[in-house]
Amino acid sequence: MDTWVIVLIIVGAVILVALLFFASRRMRDRKLEQRRGEAGELRAQSEEVAQRAEQREETAQREAEQARRRREAAEREAAQAQADRQMADERARRADEIDPDTDTDDDERR
């Protein structure tokens, strides 16, 4: 073989290796860019989900506080009802004691 053919084959091989190198690099860069895009989308979705979770937490805290206030009000009402019941019982006993038509024994008081 002539020298120029060998040189031509070597140059062709070097060009082919360079083309393969640049093509593989370009494919890798595209793949990296695609992965960056996917990561960006995932970050955006993550932010949306985090915001919804924060809103739900705030709503749950508000509702828990409202429930606590309602429970406290119900407990106050129950305590007042108990006090009213005791007052009513005491007045009924006193009325029985005062009423001349009511027969009351000390043992049979309400």
List the chain domain ranges.
3-98
DSSP letter at 98? H
For residue 1, what pLDDT is reported? 73
Task: State the chain's mean pLDDT as an integer.
Answer: 92
For the segment 82-109, what is each residue's pLDDT rounded down to a tens digit? 999 999 999 999 998 998 887 766 545 4
96, 102 Cβ separation under 8 angstroms: yes
